[in-house]
Amino acid sequence: MVLGLSADEIALQARARAFSQGVVRPRAAAIDRDQEYPFDIVKALAEAGFLGMTMPKALGGQDASFLDAVLVIEEMAKSCTVTARIVVETNMGAISTVMAYGSEAQKKLAARLVLEGDKPAICITEPEAGSDALAMTTRADRRGDGYVINGKKHWITGAGVSRLHLIFARVFDESGESLGIGGFLALRDDKGLSVTKREQTMGLRGMPEGELTFENLEVPASMVMLPPSGFRRGFADLMNAYNSQRVGAGTVAMGIAGGALDHALAWAKTREQFGRPIGEFQGLQWMLADMQTQLTASRLMLYAAARSRGPDASAFPDPMLAAQTKIFASEAAIKIVNDALQVFGARGYSRELPLERMARDVRMFTIGGGTAQVLRTLVASKMLGWKLPQTRDGYAPKPSIRDAAE
């Protein structure tokens, strides 16, 4: 379905679809089975121009829109969730924050790494600070012109393979006074940064999720990410990265669902029972119709969320629309994939088909990047016009739910 796409956007979508089916799909099962990061696919993505598309042309990007990225991500996700996540993280995650708030030197560094195939990592979640990110204890203490970071992060996507890390830490000046929460850039090989654990995940098994430990990690002033609001109020600025990432995550979920529906539809046309294709039975027809309706609704919301981004690299998608879209698309995707598996009956439960892998992969997207429940709280806070305790900034004391938003 075109859904208001331009001729250039349709051509990009077709090119991404051909790449997905020809290059990615033959590797997808092995990536999952072997639990290995697909460096060969990353190289092919870079050569095809799918990494760093949204970066400015002056830095080697294409000045592509977030909708362009969404079109590519969806096609990749139909074949391989890990590949789709790589496209998200090189176009819409930490890289969008660096492009918005980084210095020129930081932007050049990040752009070079992405174009070389790096998937930057956002490092915010901690063992005791998941949905409540402000409970983080990782700290950055001022030492001369730079900072020294100590602490631990876990469930870091790309741990061990990502070269560039955007680390969130609680900032203290030389006297020990808290300054809020800030962002710091560090490289994989920096002394004091180490991967101490890899999670054994249910799905997305070719993308490492791991624990990072910081032991006196020295970050020079040139690698400090200082948003316009400074440390005291800058946490919300830095968290804008998640508005981009949520659109990307919702798109991955939608792409998985679209791939599952494609498989189910083909099976319904060819599988015969009781002397006729199973697609002739009304019960399955209604399932297919509901799946397509949910998929179309998700696609419309994701296109709108992508288009809500401002005209330059310093802008992000609308936060409320991004949250609503991720809630709807991720939950709809779980239902679509489960129904697609049901269409196949026992064959859908077999590991010989991609449906069981899709069912494992898609389950992540109501969790990562903001759980569906926390995102509902974000939407409600916007509706009520209140700063709820879960939506406070990184410096202000915890407000009551009766405190009106500024």
DSSP state string for 321-348: HHHHHHHHHHHHHHHHHHHHHHHHGGGG
**Cβ contact 32:353 at 8 Å:** no
What whole-number distance in Å separates Cα of residue 56 and Cα of residue 54? 7
Pick the closest to residue 261 from 282, 287, 291, 294 (CA basis): 291
Looking at residue 2, its pLDDT comes to: 60
**Cβ contact 206:79 at 8 Å:** no
Task: Identify the structural domains of the chain with CATH numbers, from first to last.
Answer: 7-115 (1.10.540.10), 121-229 (2.40.110.10), 237-391 (1.20.140.10)
What whole-number distance in Å separates Cα of residue 32 and Cα of residue 138? 32
Q: Which helix (H) or strand (E) holds 299?
A: helix 282-307
What whole-number distance in Å separates Cα of residue 252 and Cα of residue 263? 17
**Cβ contact 341:260 at 8 Å:** yes
What whole-number distance in Å separates Cα of residue 305 and Cα of residue 20? 24
Residue 271 has a CB neighbour count (10 Å cut-off) of 15
Tell me the pTM: 0.92
Would you state the structure tokens that stand for residue 304, as one six-digit string?
């709108």
Backbone angles phi, psi at 401, to 5 degrees: -65, -10
Which class for 377: exposed (0-12), middle (13-18), buried (19 or more C-beta within 10 A)?
A: middle
Looking at residue 86, its pLDDT comes to: 98
- Name the 3-class secondary structure at 39: helix
Summarize pLDDT for 29-56 with one digit per residue, the tens: 999 999 999 999 999 999 999 999 999 9
Would you state the structure tokens that stand for residue 80, as one six-digit string?
């391989």
What whole-number distance in Å separates Cα of residue 155 and Cα of residue 120? 14
Summarize pLDDT for 120-139 with one digit per residue, the tens: 999 999 988 877 777 899 99
pLDDT lower than 50: segments of the chain? 394-406
**Cβ contact 170:393 at 8 Å:** no
Pairing status of strand 121-123 against strand 164-172: parallel
**Cβ contact 368:204 at 8 Å:** no
What residue type is assigned to position 391 of the chain?
T
Q: Which helix (H) or strand (E) holds 188?
A: none
Cα 327 → chain centroid: 13
What residue type is assigned to position 150 of the chain?
N
Looking at residue 133, its pLDDT comes to: 78
Would you state the structure tokens that stand for residue 191, as one six-digit string?
């002394």
**Cβ contact 168:238 at 8 Å:** yes
Tell me the three-class secondary structure of 120-154, residue by residue.
CEEECCECCECCCHHHCCCEEEEECCEEEEEEEEE
